[in-house]
Structure formats: C-alpha cells, structure tokens
C-alpha cells in the first residue's frame, strides 16, 4: 500500500519491518515508538496496534499535505 502511495504523491515513505518478537522485546518498548503495526506521519501516531484501511490512510496523508502547503 505505501509504495503505491509514494508513487501517487511526492512524499518520502520509510517502512520499518522487523520480526514480531523484536516488537515485543523490552528494547523496542524503550524506544518510545508505538505498538506495531503502526503508522506515523512525522512525529504523530496515526494508528497503532491495528491495521488501517488504505482509503483512510490515503485521505489522512493527502489532508496533511494540503495543510502543509
């Protein structure tokens, strides 16, 4: 989903993927990052601990891009 979104609008997308056990480790918790799966835009957590529908994510990204202009 995210690579297609990056092709549609000119934005930088960083995907971080790790094995499930790494997200459950104490070292991950100490980073202060949201519970996986998660989507962040900048420093703000959009959703954490569950999936997000593609249309909802695209709308949120486009809304934030229009506010930034």
Flag whether 30 is in a domain: yes
* 61 contacts 11 by C-beta, under 8 angstroms: yes
Flag whether 41 is in a domain: yes
Residue 69 banded pLDDT, cuts 50, 70, 90: low
* 61 contacts 1 by C-beta, under 8 angstroms: no
Q: What is the pLDDT of residue 4?
A: 74
Flag whether 27 is in a domain: yes
Flag whether 69 is in a domain: no
Number of domains observed in the structure of the chain: 1
pLDDT in tens, 6-46: 777 777 777 878 888 888 888 888 888 888 888 888 888 99
Flag whether 16 is in a domain: yes
Q: Which domain holds residue 57?
A: 2-64
């Amino acid at each position: 989903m995210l690579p297609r979104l990056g092709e549609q609008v000119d934005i930088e997308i960083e995907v971080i993927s790790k094995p499930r056990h790494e997200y459950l480790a104490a070292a991950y918790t100490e980073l202060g990052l949201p519970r996986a799966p998660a989507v962040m835009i900048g420093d703000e957590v959009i959703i954490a601990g569950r999936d997000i529908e593609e249309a909802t994510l695209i709308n949120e990204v486009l809304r934030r891009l229009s506010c930034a202009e």
